[in-house]
Structure 1
């Protein structure tokens, strides 16, 4: 079976206002009504010298076991429709309003949920952008950096969200601001962890989904009806002395769970147990909403059962309704069997 990878991509080029059917018109972009002096050049954001548009390529911010990846952002320049007649400076600011993010999401209409990345999480290295006389491009780029609240903000976010940074221009008597390109958008995929370790007491209001309702399958097994491994029922018989495992020689070992009758299932948590002989230290849990792309939900630090009846309990911070659940050892080890003595999805 071809190794599954998590592919998350979004092709962003132009807003509808700059589509092929209606190209960006340099001589007549829309601008704020208070800018009535038509002799002034129009200032606007642009993704590059070679492409019109004001949406950066989708970035990714990942949080794993409480550690957030460093923030990175492309350099952004401002442009003028006419060469500057004198040296002057404009002020850029981060728009932390949820209204701006909602307007962006409504305009893009991609079905994703966007959250505003505030100025407490990211900041401008320099809020002032200068133009030199005769230039149509800002002297230096706008650069962003992480702020003191960056990690706290990311760690607080629910998974399957996108973060958005919106750059605005302050009004100036030197230019007219393009209404359609007077803002710049930097979207980010927030790959945050949805799994968190918990205790048996904290999941006591949840109940296991019946094993009869679910299908279980290892990556190396194509037909579970002729499976020669231990019975699937060992996973949900509440008997830690029985287990289910694969001794595949492949490094990439996967374990799938999905509804027997198709469709999707809502899962609020899970608990699992495994003896040392088949227990990997770290397991990554993925879900698929469409059966093709996979989204990480976090890592399980598996504490093995050494004869003391150890079970590992985990909650989804946000319940997951998905078509497939997949569990994979984070570190490959083809010399070790992979499996569980108990594995229950909770509803």
Structure 2
């Protein structure tokens, strides 16, 4: 099984500054590169506390590409309906050249209407746009001239430049858990980026089977591998013992979960035009939900514990059909703890 590093943080950078956060990301990525991790994933987020230092994965991936030697640099995720596919092809071709073929992109549809101030016309049909533009992105990456409307209203054929280093761009579809998205990813013959959070082991096993069956039945797609990669994000800290790992990770992770739940409730209210009551959870209610989620993670779905505990969790995910675990590390731990945890994971990685 492959192990990667996922950044998805929610901590407030106001006390230390965003520049320090970028320094930490670079330090962690360089260490992951030296330790043999497969990839580093950075998300696209706008106007929120969650992921406030990640507005542009292509820009950050370009910096990470020149700071590393072998680790793959991937968007996890890129909100495709916010962008013209030509722009995506151009930006990631730069990353692909800078990294000598280490670029990859997971496509998301977007989840919050406020994000779409960047592309107001793209919100209502964002799922259809994302599915359509995946095929278009593959054609553009392959060097095919595609017609678009220019500034005078005329249709003109354009080929994006620069040309990428790789013949095909590795593509994932991001899912928040819907079985329909797992199946759609299979039909499109993309890899899939999901998470262990919010579902049981049995539910996840069923979704992986659904994806594999859809992928096998789908027609071949340009640049798509014969078998798709299932990548799962899991909150991760490998400690010297279970007790130490849970003691160090417990406070930061519960604070992160509290922030995430509050933001999700507010987003759901905004997207659905609700009356705002879901945005009025009390601190006590948020604390209860965060504690419940944390205790559930200790039972299943996280890499929180000793190296031996993490080994068992990884073996279980491999049995389910997971090919890669994206280790979500920036949920509030200090950079020194994150680096120490990565070293412990690297020691057991070869035996998984």
**TM-score tier after normalising by the smaller chain length:** under 0.3
The TM-score with structure 1 as length reference comes to 0.23
Structure showing greater Rg: 1
Larger proportion of helix = 2
Larger proportion of strand = 1
